[in-house]
Amino acid sequence: MPTQFIVQKSAFPDSAPETLRGFVEKLGLPPLSSITESSATACVTFQADVPQNVFDESLTNLVMVFLNSAKQDRYNNIDAKTDLIIGRGFVFSGMTFSTSMEAQARMLGMLILSTNPLLQYPIIWNNLDDTGAITLPDAAMVQSFVLTGIGYYRAAIDSGSTLKAAVRGAVDIAAVRAIVDTRS
């Protein structure tokens, strides 16, 4: 005798019957004999030819797969937005400068050497699109320049980390979807 289970539709990102059947099959869970959706109750009804406790455990596993998938998608979106923000560069003295990995390495090297008496000043640093440059006349200006760039980079990373922490804390797909990356 089939056992019937009713689950809130919000537990699944895509509750189309063929999608659910595919996930159930892929995960090696007990097969579903029927799946119906109700837009009126926002529920999905499952029927399976297994005892309730076996299906409950399988359904919990299925919900976790959907939840983890939704979380990974959100992490990927946050990473992409963070990369976009970093790629825009930082503004110093009215010009925009690169925060690429290469630029970061060069800036850190320059910061380390900034107080070395063998470093020749001034240092000329091209802006992001090479339409202009800044002249850094001394160690204080180099340090200010580099720390501004590092601060911009850290702000982008830290704001993404805050969003990721919220995603990690989400207990269902609705909570994951409610986390919106509004950074510009």
Of residues 39, 43, 34, the one with CA closest to residue 8: 43
Instruction: Output the pLDDT for position 99.
Output: 94
The single-letter DSSP state of residue 9 is G
Mean per-residue pLDDT of the chain: 81
pLDDT score of 29? 55
**Could you tell me which of 7, 157, 162, 165 has the C-alpha nearest to residue 71?**
165
Which CATH number applies to 3-74? Answer: 3.30.70
Residue 171: predicted pLDDT: 87
Instruction: Tell me if 124 sits within 8 A of 135, measured CB to CB.
Output: yes
Domain map (residue ranges) of the chain: 3-74, 85-178
33-47, 60-74, 149-163, range with the lowest pLDDT: 33-47
